[in-house]
A and B are shown apart, each in its own frame.
Chain A
Amino acid sequence: MTRIEKKFKELKAANRKAFIPYITAGDPNLQTTADLILALDKAGADVIEVGVPFSDPIADGPVIQRATERALISGTTLADILRMGGEVRKKSQVPLLIMSYYNPLLRYGLENLARDAAAAGFDGILASDLTVEESGPFVDTMKKAGLNTVFLVAPTSSPERIRKIAAMSTGFLYAVSRTGVTGERQELAPDLRAFLRTLRTHTDVPIAVGFGISQPEHVQAVWQEADGAVVGSALVRAIEENAGFSDVADRVARFTLWLRGEAA
C-alpha cells in the first residue's frame, strides 16, 4: 500500500477529507520546493503534487505557465526533482505525487523513472496529457515499481470513459472540476455536484477535485461531495508573490491554513 492509499484510508476512518496542494518543482528553485514540501506537510497537507516543468504546458493557465518558466530558467530537470524528493523523504512521510506532461517522463525512460521515483520515495505519478488509451506500458511499469497511477477524469468524459479511467486510476481519481485550463476561479462549476455524484456511482477509488479550487468556500464545497480538494494556481500565485521573502515557505503554509479554513 502506498502512502497515498494509506492516507486516504486513514482519512476515511477519521471521517476527514484530503487537502492536496500542487506546487511546480523548481519555482523559483529546488531548495525552495524542498522547504515548501516540508512546510506544507507541517501545515497539514495530506498529499502533495510535485509538478515537473514542461516547455509547452497546454493544460495550464497563466499562473502555472509563469511558474513553469521560472522553474525552467532555474534549470530544473526531472532528475534533479527526483533527487530533491529523496532528500525530502528523509525528513517527511507526506505522500508525494509527481505531476507532469508525458514527454519529460518518456524522455527520462519509463523504466528509469519507475525505479528512481520509487527509490526516492515518491508514491505515484500523474501525466496530464496521457490518455488511458495510450497508457498501457506506463501503467504496467509504474505498477511493478509499486507506484500509483493517477488519471484525470473530466466533465466531458462519457460514462464508458469514466469506467475505463476509474479502472486504471490507483491511489485516487483526479476529477477536473470544469472544462478549461488550470487557474483560479470565482465560482465552482454549476454542474460539479452532479458530475461528482456520477463519478461516485462508477468507482470506489477516492475522488479528489482540482482546477479552479482557490477559495476556502470552494474547498469546503468540494469536501461535501468528494474525498479531497486539490489547490494549484492559488498556491502557486502565493509562492510567486512571496518568493522574495526568506520565510516564503512559512508564508505559503499560512495561506494553506487559510484555504483549509483553519486561519492562522
Chain B
Amino acid sequence: MKGHFGIYGGQFVPETLMHPLEELDAAYSAAQTDPAFQTRLEYLFHNYSGRPTPLYNAERLAQAWGSGKIYLKREDLNHTGAHKINNCLGQGLLAQRMGKKRIIAETGAGQHGVATATVCALLGMECDVYMGEEDIRRQELNVFRMKLLGARVVPVSSGSKTLKDAINESMRDWVTNVRTTYYMLGSVLGPHPYPAMVRDFQSIIGREVRGQILEKEGRLPDVLVACVGGGSNAMGLFYTFVSDTQMRMVGVEAGGRGPALGDHAARFSGGSPGVLHGTFSYILQDEHGQIVPTHSVSAGLDYPSVGPEHATLHDTGRVQYTSINDAEALEAFTELSHLEGIIPALESAHAVAQTKKLKLPKDQIAVINLSGRGDKDVNEAMRLLGK
C-alpha cells in the first residue's frame, strides 16, 4: 500500500484513475532524482517566481502585541501573490516531462487557479480551471487574471458551489480525459502521490526559513504558525522542522461563523476520519457519512477535508490545530495592514490572528507563514467591513 501517513492517506479513486496515478508516481520519482529537473525548477524559483522570499521581522506588530519577535515568511511576495506557484512550477515541469499538453485544476480562492494559468502560459499548455460559482462571485479579480493568462474558467454550479465541488468536477474531467490531461491538484490532498508531491514542492518554504532564521537569530524559532485549508502552505513550512521537536507548530483552521456543523471548516475540532476526494483524512460529515457544507470568510480555507499528513500530525500531537473565526481573521487583516503596510490574504490573516492569541513571551520567536497577499480579498473585505 502506497502513500500512507500513519493510518491516513492512500488512494480512494475510481479504478480508471489508478493507472494514471501509478504513471504520475513513477514520473515524479524519476524527476526527483534527475538533476536536470531540479536545476530547471530552482532556476524558475529564483528567476521567475522571485525566490527566496524574505523573512521579515514585523517589529511594529510585535510591539503592538507586546510579544516576542514575529517573523513573516513573505510567500505573498511570490510571483502571482501566494505560495501556490511553488507547487505549480514543480507540477508544470512534471506534466511537460510526461508529455501532457492539457492541464486542469480546481481553485477556491483563485490563487491556485492563477498560479496554474500562469505556469500553463509559461510552458505553452492548454489550461481549464474549475471554480465554484460562489467563489467566482467573491474572487472576481482572480477570475479575470486567469482569463487574461489564457485559461478557461469553468463555473461549477453543483453542491455548495465552492472548492469541494470544483474538485468533484476536476476529477470528473480527469477520469474522462485521463489519457491526455494532467490534473494539477493545488494542495496536499487527494490520492497518493499528490499529498507527498505537493508537500515536497512546497517544502522550499521551510528550508528557506531554516537558513534565514539561523542567519538572523542564530537559532531556530520557538513556534511556527500557518493557516490550514488543504494544508499545503502549512506542510511547506512545517515539513523540514517535524523532527526539531523542541519547536511548537500551530495549524490554524477556519472557525467561520461559529462551532455548529456547517458554519466552519475546522476539520479537527468538528470532523472525524473518512474518505473524500481520494484520501482518508479528517472530514466534516454528518452521521450518515454525507459531506456537510462549510463556511469561511476565506475561500481558500473553505473545504471539508484536510491533507492526510496533517491528520497524522494531529493524532500524534506534533502539530497543534486551532481555529480562528471570520471576525478575528478580518481584524488581523486590518491590523497587519495598518501596522506593517502588508495586506495579507484572508487565509493568512487566520495565522496572524492565532499568533496574536499565543501571547508569545518576549524572549521567544515565532514565524508566521504569510502564504498570500490580500489584493484578491479587497472587494470582499470592503463588503464585510462595510467601508
Contact = CB atoms under 8 A, between A and B. Distances in A.
Given A106-B275, A106-B289, A107-B289, A176 B10 contact: no
B159 interface: yes
A44 to B, nearest CB: 29
4 closest A-B pairs by CB: A107-B289, A104-B289, A154-B16, A180-B176
A158 B19 contact: yes
B329 to A, nearest CB: 26
Contacts of A146: none
Interface stretch (A7-15, A30-38, A130-138, A240-248): A130-138
A133 B14 contact: no
A133 B2 contact: yes
A56 B165 CA distance: 8
Interface string B137-165: 00000000000000000000011000010
A102 B278 CA distance: 10
B280 to A, nearest CB: 8
Majority DSSP secondary structure for residues of A touching B: loop
Centre residue among A58, A102, A179 by max chain B CB count within 10 A: A58
Given A107-B285, A134-B1, A181-B175, A59 B19 contact: no
Interface residues of A, number: 41
Given A156-B178, A179-B176, A129 B13 contact: yes
A107 B274 contact: yes
Interface in A229-254: none
Interface in A109-160: 128-131, 133-134, 151-158
Contacts of A54: 289-290
A153 B12 contact: no
B227 to A, nearest CB: 24
B96 interface: no
Contacts of A207: none
Given A58-B277, A131-B18, A133-B10, A104 B288 contact: yes
A97 interface: no
Centre residue among B14, B16, B159, B275 by max chain A CB count within 10 A: B14
Contacts of A157: 15, 18-19
Contacts of B277: 56, 58
A108 interface: yes
A176 B18 CA distance: 13
B285 A129 contact: no
Given A56-B159, A56-B277, A179 B179 contact: yes
Nearest to A180: B176
Contacts of A106: 274-275, 289
Interface of B: 1-2, 10-20, 22, 158-159, 164, 168, 171-172, 175-179, 274-278, 280, 283, 285, 287-291
Centre residue among A102, A129, A154 by max chain B CB count within 10 A: A129
Contacts of A55: 159, 290-291
Contacts of B175: 58-59, 179-181
Contacts of B16: 152, 154-156, 176, 179-180
A219 interface: no
Given A103-B289, A133-B2, A59 B14 contact: yes
Centre residue among A56, A65, A130 by max chain B CB count within 10 A: A56
A36 to B, nearest CB: 22
A104 B274 CA distance: 9
22 contacts: A57-B168, A58-B14, A58-B277, A59-B172, A77-B288, A102-B275, A103-B291, A107-B285, A107-B288, A128-B14, A131-B18, A133-B10, A134-B1, A134-B280, A153-B15, A154-B18, A158-B19, A161-B15, A161-B18, A179-B175, A179-B176, A179-B179
Interface string A188-199: 000000000000
Contacts of A222: none
A32 to B, nearest CB: 20
Interface in A83-105: 101-105
A60 to B, nearest CB: 8
Interface in A65-79: 65, 72, 77-79
A104 B290 contact: yes
B285 A134 contact: no
Centre residue among B178, B275, B276 by max chain A CB count within 10 A: B275
Interface in A161-184: 161, 165, 176, 179-181
Contacts of B22: 158
